[in-house]
Structure 1
Amino acid sequence: MTSGFSHEACLKSLKASVQKDVASHNDDSVIEFTNAYQSLPGLDADKRTAADQSIKNLIADDIHQILKSEQTNVGVVKRAIRIISFAVNVAKHGMCSPSLPFSLLGDVLDCLTLDLCDPVFCFIEERVATWKSTQFYTAGKNHLLRMCNDLLRRLSQAQNTVFCGRIQLFLARLFPLSEKSALNLFSQFNSDNVTIFNSNPSQSILKNEKNAQSDKDPPTLNQKPQKDELWLDGGANDMEVDQTDLDPSKNRDEKKSENSLIVDFELYSSIWSLQDIFRSPLQCYTTESWEKFAKNAETVFRVFDSFKLDKQHFLEEQPHKAYFAKFLTSEKLIDLQLNDTMFRRQVLCQFLILFQYLLGTVKFKSASAMLSDKQTKWIGESETKIYALLEETPPNGKHFAAYVKHLLEREKYWISWKNEGCPSFIKVREPDSQKKDAPEEVQSPPAKRRKTADVSKPKKSTIAQDFVLGKPLGMGSPELTRLWELCPDNLAACKSEKRSFLPTLEGFFAEGIELMDPKNMVEEEYMSYNDPNFQWRALRLLSQRSPLFFASQPAQMQFKVVSQYLKGIMKKLSEEFPQNAPETAEVVPENGEIDKSMEEEPPRDEQREEGEDIDEGEEDGDDDEVLEDDQFDNEDALLNDDSQQEDGDSADEGLLEATVPGDSLSSDQVTTIAQKLGKEWEKLAPLLGLNSKDIAEIRGDSEDVILRARQTLVTWQDRKKENAKRPALVQALTKAGMEDLAKEFGGN
């Protein structure tokens, strides 16, 4: 312990700073805590220990308040979540242990009820990217795995199915695909899952039909119920009955449907005896267990096949409510379970999963675990029966059967992947040194060498040598030679105007501009700028005919859709075109002559100097126009050709000033302001009209404060459009207390 450091004083100071930051909602900035931490004497290790303890004490106080209160205190839970969020940001700055947030989460979840655990787990779900970062992943992955497993033990898979699924999905997002901690690598079975049912016929309330019927005969149909017998009805409405109706001593109604059967002890025992095989499939490789399993399976198949569920009952649309039942083994419930669609599907799917294991190749299956040809044939026939039964089971039987088949086919790929030792899905490129050290049989064969010319034969001159010496060139065929010799100067041939097939701007946009004329009364949906094909060709043409088109766009226009963008461009071009513009698009003729009339037209600035009275109000356009014309004031060179822009360097130097009309902000200026704002962007965001939801979305999109600041400014520009000017930003900066930045930016 260093001299001057007091643990108690440090705890008191840090705890007070944490309370101030949490109360003022400074979870991200941690200003008070940072100032208190830096002002304390001592080593960083001692101060981090004190910081951990101070935050733990606050969480302990909140937990004690929750346990002491008899009512559900949601506010205290939200405050505990804010403290944990505060601990995450403190850990990012290195002022506490990286494992502290996970320790706090574990303590809170252990002390809360399941209802209050849901908002805490939502906090964990939303920060998967934070937990997967380098700073937290190593320190917290075991804590998170332990927390999730503890929650799964407390939750009921039948009543809290959605919550359990969210936990499984969170773990799948947290851990990489190559993580083997959740894999059953050795193909072990859950032998502890024992199904307890009545296996003693003498203690059964059901009638024992073993001596009355042979095993080959199906259950008795169209008989009247006797004493100690349960009738199975085809109507699914029998599921809703009282416990008094299950008393076997009372007779059922005498009127039964024609499709009814007696549920005896043999059927009950056959159904629940199968669960022992499903629990431990290795029993199928013994003769005695296999014969018993096959006999019980055939009984179940006969019952499901002979007794059909009433499809008419499932034709009515029912609300989609997912419920995964835990079926009980009571003898009084067996007739209701056979009327249940989910019970039938669960038993049949268990058969399919078992058959896939028995027929598949499993790495850790012993060599003696082999099926005979007779058993393999029986499994194939049984699979056909099962899929037929699934298709007949309402509702949507065919769709459900196809989905199960597809799911089992996909499972084969995962089994194959596990048999291969679970290789990583990320392939690493081998260095060249390993390829050289590889054995000869692994290396690729050497490349074939070209055959050398015969020395005795006279050597032929190459085309390059003939070209240098000025000899006639042979290109391989007379036609190619003729085409090559059409123009002796290849460079001049490439620059020929005959090779230019681009239409002029005036000829291409003339038809679209004519459609935009209000006199023609053309509906909006039929305008040329709404055609995707026209949009693509227009942008390509503008990029070739006028390079200033892309270089001189104001910041407000960067988020316009293409149709609106071209609409404004075409309005501007209509002012540049002469009054006798052609109606159809013109293509450069074959002789290469291009109409230069547009290039000879004096610029608009010269027209104003000559005395033309131009109404500024007309140039600004109407309020309902998509793009303001003042955004195109620097677009006078749209019709100019590339040849008119020889002074490239001088134009680039003043590009920023020339392309931003008035007080508009360019993209470069927005980036510069964002770099100087930094973490102060949250103070500026509300003054720019952004609400708390917008700020939360910006905070969640990126961890970089500069990117957050730039996204804030861009969102402001996108919403305010033409009102997003320099004076408005300077005013907002001044209100936020950033006078220096406001003066610096206002002066520019």
Structure 2
Amino acid sequence: MGAYHTELARIATERLSGLLTQARIVKQQTTIDPPLLVSELTTGDKPLLGPADADETHKTAIEVAAKNVFYAVTASTDIEDPAFVQIWNLLDILQYSGDRDQCLPHLVFLLIEELLDSQSIEGCRIVFNYLESRRENLIAKSSRNKDLVILRSCNELLRRLSRAEDAVFCGRVYIFLFQTFPLGDKSSVNLRGDFHVENVTTFEEYLKSSEAEDDSMNVDTEESIEPANEKAKLEQDIEPKESTPSTQERKPDTQDIDALYPVFWSLQHAFSNPTTLFEEANFKEFQKGLEATIDKFKEVPKVIQTSETEGKRGVKRRSSDDQDESATTFNPKYLTSRDLFKLELSDLAFQRHILVQALILIDFLSSLTEKSKQKPYYVKAQKAMQYTFTLGEQQAEWASGIKNTIANYLRDGPDGSFYYRMVDTVLSRDKNWVRWKMENCTPFTRDRVPTKEFLEAKSGAQKLADSNNILRPKRFGGLNLEFLSNTQGKKGLERLKRGNRFVVPNVDSYVKEVESIELDLEMVTSEQEKRDMEEEKANKTWRALRIASKDKLSSFDRLADGKNLERLFQPATTVEATGGEDSAPSGPEDRDAVPPEQHQSAEEQRADQRSQVTTGTAAE
């Protein structure tokens, strides 16, 4: 059995070596790109390395053959040598064969993992260039074994990289992982909610009290007196002012850099492990430290890094290999040297990093209020994400106030509004991710609809559309079309063509109809009939006013609530003589009530007015 496996591996090795020789003819470039056209290495349906759906024996033989060729080339050729293109061609062939089940699907990633382990950091950059250029083809058909190898190789590479010196390369690895795995994959989810407590920030604790020494056994010299005096001076600087008796809590003097130094760097302990703030003493210390830090940020002059002013928004970054060297100003690990502390406080980018950390921590604390804990998703969350600590009302009020203070401060400065908007957007989306994680990462992606179900639904929709084209007597919600049928010997369409249907009626006709309705209203006997006639009267009145608005709009002030439409056709003198509806007498009874001396016609009134005007003019 061993001899049989050895013979299969030898045949596969010869076949693979022949394919690599043929690949040098198909792809004459010695670079990673363009990819090898593997389909040109075979003719027709002939398998490339073995039969389709090969058994485990053939797949194992191909794996042994691939490793033999891989080790032979990597042992004798440098990764920057043009002859190293054989490795890229080999990986392309294995990827092509793995997708067609002629070898192990994850064999190409096994070799990439070994290649990363055998190269330096500079060599790993070149290997990662290959991964980024072939990513879509490599992950076209995913499998559990392939995903595990990708995670293992990328995590191992991240352990080797320095986040201070290789920050951009680390970002490329993370982006590759994000693009490779689906959005809802649990492989990158911190299900237990563990904090990164291993990220410890060390600094020189100047204000830390030293061990007590026996003064009687020591002799005070100039060298020993000077440090003691400096220490006493520093301790005196952080003592609270005794200006008011109510001052009981100690708060560092923000004017003193030495006093602020240990308080400032102590905030990193809370940032890396927020659960330490569940103790009241630690929370109060954090409050005082953060307030003192913000006050100091407001006092010191701002220094803007050159990279920030030169890197304008909207400029597309280069994708070349030298992008790692173009971002050397960023250092994710803080430098805690006492000599650099004053310069760091004035750096605007440094201030923003610290304040963003504070915003993240404050959002975490705000999610532990009594009101937040009553939300359904928090009640159903896993036990690891539920905390027994509850933020009090005063603490919650302080958290809300300090968050607004930080937000207002971040909005200041160059591009401050844009910067804070981006930070706020990221934090808002992060809250949604936290909620999704507390809900045990329920899947939010849907599987594809099977082809059979899609075709059935499509044919059903087509049949329903065809059946709806048939004219029914009365469809759901449709109008009654009986008026189109023959009525009184005339077809309905011919009735619609009559001239009086598309000619604008005369206003007089509507006025007469309104007067007729008013007479009929006096003889109605039922309320329903009265309502119907009033509605018809309002309809006719509105139609008459709409038509009259074209040439008699100036006469509308003679009307009162649409009454007495006949006034639209009376001369202005007649209306002035009769007066308004309320002022002029409208019947014989009203005229009898007016004194006889007031019974003047309109002509007599106008004659009197003319005579008065003439007399006045002559008098002048």
TM score, norm. by length of structure 2: 0.57
Separation in 1, partners of 2:401, 2:46: 72
Residue number among 158, 165, 168 corresponding to 1:159 in the alignment: 165
Question: Could you report, residue by residue, the CA deviation over 1:573-621 in whole angstroms, capped at 9, with x for unpaired residues?
Answer: xxxxxxxxxxxxxxxxxxxxxxxxxxxxxxxxxxxxxxxxxxxxxxxxx
Letter in 2 for 1:79: Q
CA distance in 2, matches of 1:175, 1:429: 18
Moved more, 417-426 or 157-166: 157-166
2:237/2:256 contact within 8 Å kept: no
Aligned match for 2:350, one of 340, 343, 346: 343
**Is contact 2:267–2:289 with CA below 8 Å preserved after alignment?**
yes
Alignment partners' CA distance in 2, 1:35 and 1:409:
52
Please show how residues 123-522 of structure 1 align to structure 2 within 5 Å: 123-134=130-141, 136-201=142-207, 208-212=233-237, 214-215=239-240, 262-264=256-258, 266-309=259-302, 317-319=309-311, 322=327, 323-325=329-331, 326-360=333-367, 361=372, 363=381, 364-392=384-412, 394-427=413-446, 481-485=482-486
- Letter matched to residue 11 of structure 2: C
CA 1:38–1:107: 2 relative to 1, 3 Å? closer
Alignment of 1:651-662 (within 5 A): none
Q: Matches of 1:11 and 1:306 in 2, distance apart?
A: 73
Residue 401 of structure 1 aligns with an amino acid whose one-letter code is Y
Query: Counterparts of 1:36 and 1:357 in 2: how far apart (Å)?
Result: 56
Q: Do structure 1's residue 48 and structure 2's residue 59 form an aligned pair?
A: yes
Pairwise CA distance, 1:170:
1.9
Aligned-pair CA distance for 1:487: 12
Quote how far apart the aligned CAs of 1:319 are. Answer: 4.1
Contact (CA 8 Å) 2:20, 2:86: kept in 1 or not?
A: no
For residues 618-673 of structure 1, the C-alpha deviation after alignment (integer angstroms, 9 at most, x for no partner) is: xxxxxxxxxxxxxxxxxxxxxxxxxxxxxxxxxxxxxxxxxxxxxxxxxxxxxxxx
The 8 Å contact of residues 131 and 174 in structure 1, kept in 2 or not, is answered as no
**Mapped contact 2:94–2:107 kept (Cα < 8 A):** yes
Deviation at 1:200, TM superposition (A): 4.3
Q: 1:103 to 1:14 in 2, by over 3 A?
A: same
| Secondary structure, counterpart of 1:425 in structure 2 | coil
Shift of 1:428: 7.2
Deviation at 1:173, TM superposition (A): 2.1
RMSD of equivalent CA atoms = 4.0
Say if 2:70 and 2:87, in contact at 8 Å, map to a contact too. yes
CA contact 1:314–1:395 (8 Å) conserved in 2: no
**Matched residue, 2:128:** 121
Report the secondary structure of 1:177's partner residue.
coil
Q: Is the 8 A contact 2:67 2:111 kept in 1?
A: yes
2:21 equivalent to 1:23? no
For 1:632-711, list aligned pairs within 5 A: none
Quote the offset at 1:34 in angstroms.
6.1
Q: Distance in 1 between matches of 2:492 and 2:100?
A: 63
How much does 1:165 deviate? 2.2
Equivalent positions of 1:55-74 (< 5 A) are 55-66=66-77, 73-74=80-81
Deviations 1:303-322 (A, max 9, x none): 112224168x9899524565
Contact 2:199 2:272 in 1 (8 A): yes
Distance in 2, matches of 1:144 and 1:307, equals: 47
Cα drift, residue 343 of structure 1: 1.2
Distance 1:127 1:109 in 2: 16
Deviation digits for residues 354-388 of structure 1, max 9, x if unmatched?
Answer: 01001115644445311111111111111121112
**CA distance change for structure 1 residues 347 and 296 in 2, over 3 Å: closer, same or farther?**
same
Matched residues, number: 399
Q: What's the secondary structure of 2:195's corresponding residue?
A: coil
The verdict on how the C-alpha distance between 1:403 and 1:417 changes in structure 2, with shifts beyond 3 A counting, is same
The residue identity in structure 2 corresponding to 1:263 is I
Query: Is residue 117 of structure 2 the alignment partner of residue 110 of structure 1?
Result: yes
Shift of 1:29: 3.7
| Cα distance change of structure 1 residues 151 and 464 upon mapping to structure 2, 3 Å threshold | closer
Whose radius of gyration is greater, 1 or 2?
2
CA distance in 1, matches of 2:307, 2:68: 59
C-alpha separation in 1, matches of 2:147 and 2:162:
24
Distance 1:276 1:213, change over 3 A: closer
Q: Measure, in 2, the Cα distance between the counterparts of 1:171 and 1:213.
A: 48
Residue 484 of structure 1 and its aligned partner are, at CA, apart by 4.1
Q: Distance in 2 between matches of 1:488 and 1:14?
A: 93
> Post-superposition shift, 1:37?
5.6
For 1:356 and 1:333, locate their aligned partners in 2 and report how far apart those are by CA, in whole Å.
Answer: 30
Contact 1:84 1:101 in 2 (8 A): yes
Matched residue type, 1:396: D
The structural deviation recorded for 1:141 is: 0.8
- Mapping for residues 518-537 of structure 1, pairs under 5 Å: none
Paired residue secondary structure (2:236): coil
2:487, 2:22 → 1: CA distance? 82
CA distance in 1, matches of 2:492, 2:22: 72
In the alignment, structure 2 segments of 5+ residues that lack a partner are: 27-36, 211-226, 244-253, 313-325, 373-377, 450-471, 495-620
Cα deviation code 1:717-748 (max 9, x no counterpart): xxxxxxxxxxxxxxxxxxxxxxxxxxxxxxxx
Match of 2:261, as an amino acid? Y
1:270/1:12 CA distance change after superposition, 3 Å: closer
Letter in 1 for 2:349: M
Whole-angstrom distance in 1 between the partners of 2:490 and 2:131: 72
Long gaps (5+) in structure 1: 219-259, 431-462, 466-474, 494-748
Change beyond 3 A, Cα 1:80–1:214: same
Contact 1:14-1:51 within 8 A present in 2 as well: no
Aligned to 2:388, the other structure's residue is in SS state: coil
* Greater Cα offset, 298-307 or 481-490: 481-490
Q: Is the 8 A contact 1:21 1:31 kept in 2?
A: no
CA distance in 1, matches of 2:49, 2:301: 74
Letter of the 1:153 partner, please give it: R
How has the CA–CA distance of structure 1 residues 388 and 10 changed in structure 2, closer, same or farther, with 3 Å as cutoff? same
Deviates more, 1:158-167 or 1:96-105: 158-167
Structure-2 change in CA distance of 1:60 and 1:486 (3 Å): farther
Could you state the TM-score of these two structures normalised by the residue count of structure 1? 0.47
Query: How many Å apart are 1:411 and its aligned residue?
Result: 1.9
8 A contact 1:390–1:401 mirrored in 2 = yes
Letter in 2 for 1:55: A
Distance 1:314 1:486, change over 3 A: farther
Number of the residue aligned with 2:92: 85
Deviation at 1:344, TM superposition (A): 0.5
Letter in 1 for 2:398: W
